[in-house]
Structure 1
Amino acid sequence: MARSPSVPWTREHQLIALNLYRKIPFGHYDKGKPIVIQLAGLMGRSPSSLAMKLSNFASLDPFHKARNVKGLNKATIDDRAMWAEFQANLPTLGPESEQLMHDLFTSDDSLEVDFLEGKTAKVAAPRSFGGESTESIATVKIRRGQQFFRQSILRAYDVRCCVSGINVPRMLVASHIRPWRDFPDDRLDPRNGLCLSSLHDAAFDSGLMTFDEDLKVLLSSGLKKFLPQASLELNFLGYEGKAIRLPDKLATPAEEFLKHHREHIFAKE
Structure 2
Amino acid sequence: MSRNLWQRDELILAFNLYYQIPFGKINAKNPQVIALAQLIRRSPGAVSFKLSNFASLDPTLKQRGIAGASHGSKADLAIWNEFYNNWEALAFESEQLLAKLSPAEAAEPETSLLELPIIEGLEREQLRRVRVNQHFFRKLVLAAYDQRCCITGLNIPSLLNASHIIPWAHAAEQRVNPHNGLCLNALHDRAFDRGLITITPDYRIQVASTLIKSSANSATNDLLLAYDQGQIEIPARFQPDPAFLRYHNQHIFQG
TM-score by length of 2: 0.89
Question: Is the 8 Å Cα contact of residues 195 and 208 (structure 2) preserved in structure 1?
Answer: yes
Partner of 2:244: 257
Partner of 1:143: 131
What is the CA–CA distance in structure 2 between the aligned matches of 1:258 and 1:159, rounded to whole Å? 21
What is the CA–CA distance in structure 2 between the aligned matches of 1:124 and 1:262, rounded to whole Å? 32
Aligned-pair distance for 1:244? Answer: 0.9
Q: Provide Cα deviations, 1:211-259, integer angstroms capped at 9, x if missing partner.
A: 223110111123224443212211222211111111122x211111111
What is the CA–CA distance in structure 2 between the aligned matches of 1:68 and 1:157, rounded to whole Å? 21
**SS of the residue 2:147 aligns to:** coil
Where structure 2 has 5 or more consecutive residues not aligned to the other structure, the ranges are none
Question: Is the 8 Å Cα contact of residues 25 and 158 (structure 1) preserved in structure 2?
Answer: no
Identity of paired residues, percent?
40
What is the CA–CA distance in structure 2 between the aligned matches of 1:182 and 1:213, rounded to whole Å? 19
Question: Is the 8 Å Cα contact of residues 112 and 131 (structure 2) preserved in structure 1?
Answer: no
What is the CA–CA distance in structure 1 between the aligned matches of 2:154 and 2:3, rounded to whole Å? 43
Aligned-pair distance for 1:135? Answer: 9.1
Aligned-pair distance for 1:128? Answer: 2.9
Question: Is the 8 Å Cα contact of residues 171 and 197 (structure 1) preserved in structure 2?
Answer: yes
Question: Is the 8 Å Cα contact of residues 27 and 33 (structure 2) preserved in structure 1?
Answer: yes
Aligned-pair distance for 1:21? Answer: 1.3
Could you say which structure has the higher helix fraction?
2
Q: Provide Cα deviations, 1:110-151, integer angstroms capped at 9, x if missing partner.
A: x535xxxxxxxxx64453344579992222221110000001
**SS of the residue 1:55 aligns to:** helix
Residues 7/142 of structure 1: CA separation in 2 closer, same or farther (3 Å cut): farther
What is the CA–CA distance in structure 2 between the aligned matches of 1:141 and 1:213, rounded to whole Å? 31
Question: Is the 8 Å Cα contact of residues 150 and 182 (structure 2) preserved in structure 1?
Answer: yes
Aligned-pair distance for 1:25? Answer: 3.5
Question: How do 1:1-269 residues align onto structure 2 when only pairs under 5 Å count?
Answer: 6-106=3-103, 111-113=104-106, 124-131=108-115, 136-249=124-237, 251-268=238-255
What is the CA–CA distance in structure 2 between the aligned matches of 1:223 and 1:74, rounded to whole Å? 56
TM-score by length of 1: 0.85
Query: Paired residues, what number?
Result: 250
Residues 231/129 of structure 1: CA separation in 2 closer, same or farther (3 Å cut): farther
Aligned-pair distance for 1:163? Answer: 0.8
* Deviation larger for 188-197 or 123-132: 123-132
